Structure 1
Amino acid sequence: MAFAGLSIGAMLAGTADAQSSVTLYGIVDTGVTYTNNQQGHSTWEATSGNESGPRWGLMGTEDLGGGLKTTFRLENGFSIDNGKFGQGGRMFGRQAYVGLSSDRLGTVTLGRQYNSVQDILGNLQISGTLTGYSAHPHDNDDINNTFRTNNAAKYVSPTFAGLQANLVYGFSNAPGFSSNNSWSAGLTYANGPFSLGAAYARMNNPASSAVGAVASDNYYGSESMFGTPLGSATRQQIWGAGGTYALGSALFGLLYTGSRFDVPAASSLRFDNYEGSVVYYVTPFVVLAIAQVYTHVTQGPLSGHFNQTSTGAKYLLSKRTDLYVNVLYQKASSSIGQAWIESVSAPSSTTSQVAVVAGIRHKF
């Protein structure tokens, strides 16, 4: 149960009053995943964070008067199956920031944060409703939060006529401005049943140091395409646009994202992801969802594609607890050679892979 209390505020700050609040919140999520082919073998696994990454956090505000507030958030990610910290073992690896918020001028925050693509396009992608397994292949657009931005200054504007701007700059913490820095920008528009968004992000020399905007222990690992490791990029760019439309009990979504990895001594690697989705609220307690994603990949004369279908059902036992089941199927072209659904431990030995994920999630 989320709560705000003077006792927590007193522990953290030494003093508390009616104009300050601190909230403790979190999510615990775990289940079982079946995969028909991981390197030639079917697999049953206990899996943590299928629908939402397990977390606990503290967030708070202090009213400074005149419409100005101090705001902060400290958010830890962990595995419920073994209790270990996530995000490379960071105590507050999901988010850690402090800043000022103004009713008239917007919000500025400093710390480890999400970039504009994650903030804006992540809310439009089906993995926001279904499991993270439904993210685009290799999470090439980082919407499934393969990495976050360190040393980041973020500005989010007030909403004017449905429009809101989002700007983020991540410092390299090194001499010069071109080594392991990052910037992103985006815009959202909401009007009645429509919700639209567009965003762009650029990372220069990501993972070239442990202290930069995209730390070397928080970037792509063994993922590769056409023999090129994604983690070897000297520059990555991500862009996209999409929207949702609510019609009765259904929510229809369309999303396009692209990403480009510039790598040494080779042609750039490019992904284009096209997604359509439908979420249908059968009752206030039963939710069904389906999405189809087509991903086209090119590198010089090489090209290939993925097709992925993601389906899921959710039953709400209460406002905070739900049961879920998701079924995913991915087919890769022969030029790519192996299917590999995001979050599955290992690729298939063939061009197809099926995953079934079931579990329980509780929010507090």
Structure 2
Amino acid sequence: MSCACAQAANAQSTVTLYGIVDAGVLYTNNQQGHSSWQLAGGNESGPRWGLIGSEDLGGGTKANFRLENGFNVANGALGQGGRMFGRQAWVGLSSVNWGALTLGRQYNSTQDVLGTLQMSSYLAQYSTHPFDNDDINNTFRTNNAVKYVSPTWAGLQANLVYGFSNATGFADDNSWSAGVTYANGPLNAGAAYARMNRPATSASGAVASDNYYPSSASVFGASLASTTRQQTWGAGGTYALGQATLGLLYTGTNFEMETGGTLRFNNYEGSVRYMLTPALMAMVGYTYTQVARGDDDGHYHQVSAGVQYLLSKRTDLYLNGFYQKASSGIGSAWIDGTGGPSSTTTQVAVVAGIRQKF
């Protein structure tokens, strides 16, 4: 639903209401030693509703805003730590010649650039890298952020973000990130870097303490809340070849801990999706994740596959399956998004559901 009204002879304003509702049934073969059936929301896309608006100021310049709410479709609860507009909340200006400058709660450059290249952008969230260790599936957003996105020059576009700590000094709970994308015909590629300094040390900083990594990440034997510095980087791309689209992605994340030492992840992902018919898409992907924590190293293997059937441009049905194998050094397998770890080094999850966009 949208509305548009003329506010002056040379100015036009538009406000659009939009959203996604996504729910399904999730089966996990081993969740803390038992099989599990759950009603699960946000499988293919996080449920949301939002308002996006713009006002034409003339000369190719616009004032813009976005307010986006996230919620749990299974019980109606607010997402992102109970925030009204926890997914996004920003206002800014854009220009055809100079790009866009926005201020508020926003995605950082690694999320903007690399998030669209990972397989979970078109396969269910359970294909996310273990525990979303690189945060490109948006485990948290950046508060107090100023973002600049350049115009596109010969297929290239730059992305810069700085998140203020909103406290004295600049050393605690601030963040910055930078990235670049390149699009040319069938090729879509990008690279990005993000750095968080003492993240989650307060509820009002750039990376808020009530919306950082989930407690499930404690499986790695270290509280991520004691991170003094987090760095995430990566590069990847997709290439359309007829009815197929091939994808490759690498990301790395390094957590420097207050108690000393580091926790390091390297994720290597390959995927392919294929349009069997204009209404039916099949996809499959593989991720290898290395985990290094001092002398205690390990890895994950994960295979993800699924099909998606379009009932219309707005509504689709999906069926996805996932298999994860953890090395003995890691201990338990735990597919991201399921309700708990396996009691063994393997875990299987299957989800079927419906998604509607408006």
Query: Match of 1:105, as an amino acid?
Result: W
Asked whether the 8 Å contact 1:197–1:242 carries over to 2, the reply is yes
RMSD, matched Cα: 1.2
Q: Please report how far the alpha carbon of residue 345 of structure 1 lies from its aligned counterpart in structure 2 after TM superposition.
A: 1.1
Aligned with residue 306 of structure 1, among 294, 300, 311: 300
SS in 1 for 2:331: coil
SS in 2 for 1:53: coil
The count of aligned residue pairs is: 356
Q: Please report how far the alpha carbon of residue 80 of structure 1 lies from its aligned counterpart in structure 2 after TM superposition.
A: 1.0
Aligned partners of 1:299, 1:240: CA distance in 2, in Å? 20
Aligned partners of 2:81, 2:23: CA distance in 1, in Å? 20
In the alignment, which residue of structure 2 is the partner of 1:115? 108
Aligned partners of 2:20, 2:83: CA distance in 1, in Å? 17
Aligned with residue 37 of structure 1, among 12, 30, 42: 30
- Residues 91-140 of structure 1 show CA distances to partners (whole Å, capped at 9, x for unaligned) of 00000000000000000000000000000000000000100110000100
- Residues 170-212 of structure 1 show CA distances to partners (whole Å, capped at 9, x for unaligned) of 0000000010000000000011111110000000011000100
Aligned with residue 200 of structure 1, among 185, 188, 193: 193
In the alignment, which residue of structure 1 is the partner of 2:54? 61
Q: Please report how far the alpha carbon of residue 267 of structure 1 lies from its aligned counterpart in structure 2 after TM superposition.
A: 1.3
Query: Match of 2:342, as an amino acid?
Result: S
Whether 2:233 is the aligned partner of 1:233: answer no
Aligned partners of 1:221, 1:250: CA distance in 2, in Å? 35
In the alignment, which residue of structure 1 is the partner of 2:124? 131
Where structure 1 has 5 or more consecutive residues not aligned to the other structure, the ranges are: none
SS in 1 for 2:111: helix
Q: How does 1:151-230 map to 2 (within 5 A)?
A: 151-222=144-215, 223-230=217-224
TM-score when scaled to structure 1? 0.96
Query: Match of 1:280, as an amino acid?
Result: Y
Q: How does 1:240-251 map to 2 (within 5 A)?
A: 240-251=234-245
Query: Match of 2:345, as an amino acid?
Result: T
Q: Please report how far the alpha carbon of residue 300 of structure 1 lies from its aligned counterpart in structure 2 after TM superposition.
A: 1.4
In the alignment, which residue of structure 2 is the partner of 1:341? 335
Query: Match of 1:4, as an amino acid?
Result: S
In the alignment, which residue of structure 2 is the partner of 1:49? 42
In the alignment, which residue of structure 2 is the partner of 1:264? 258
SS in 1 for 2:209: coil
SS in 2 for 1:108: strand
SS in 1 for 2:131: helix
- Residues 131-187 of structure 1 show CA distances to partners (whole Å, capped at 9, x for unaligned) of 011000010000111100000000000000000000000000000001000000000
Asked whether the 8 Å contact 2:179–2:192 carries over to 1, the reply is yes
Asked whether the 8 Å contact 2:201–2:225 carries over to 1, the reply is no
Whether 2:20 is the aligned partner of 1:27: answer yes
Query: Match of 2:111, as an amino acid?
Result: Q
SS in 1 for 2:334: coil
Aligned partners of 2:49, 2:197: CA distance in 1, in Å? 31
Query: Match of 2:179, as an amino acid?
Result: G
TM-score when scaled to structure 2? 0.98
Aligned partners of 1:330, 1:230: CA distance in 2, in Å? 23
Q: Please report how far the alpha carbon of residue 16 of structure 1 lies from its aligned counterpart in structure 2 after TM superposition.
A: 8.0
Aligned with residue 356 of structure 1, among 325, 343, 350: 350
Q: Please report how far the alpha carbon of residue 51 of structure 1 lies from its aligned counterpart in structure 2 after TM superposition.
A: 0.5
Q: Please report how far the alpha carbon of residue 230 of structure 1 lies from its aligned counterpart in structure 2 after TM superposition.
A: 2.6
SS in 1 for 2:225: helix
SS in 2 for 1:201: strand
List, as ranges, runs of 4+ consecutive aligned residues in structure 1 with deviation greater than 4 Å.
Answer: 15-18
Aligned partners of 1:237, 1:16: CA distance in 2, in Å? 47
Asked whether the 8 Å contact 1:221–1:231 carries over to 2, the reply is no
Q: Please report how far the alpha carbon of residue 19 of structure 1 lies from its aligned counterpart in structure 2 after TM superposition.
A: 1.0
Aligned partners of 1:337, 1:19: CA distance in 2, in Å? 58
Query: Match of 1:119, as an amino acid?
Result: D
Identity %: 69
In the alignment, which residue of structure 2 is the partner of 1:5? 3
Aligned partners of 1:360, 1:163: CA distance in 2, in Å? 36
Aligned partners of 1:264, 1:16: CA distance in 2, in Å? 56
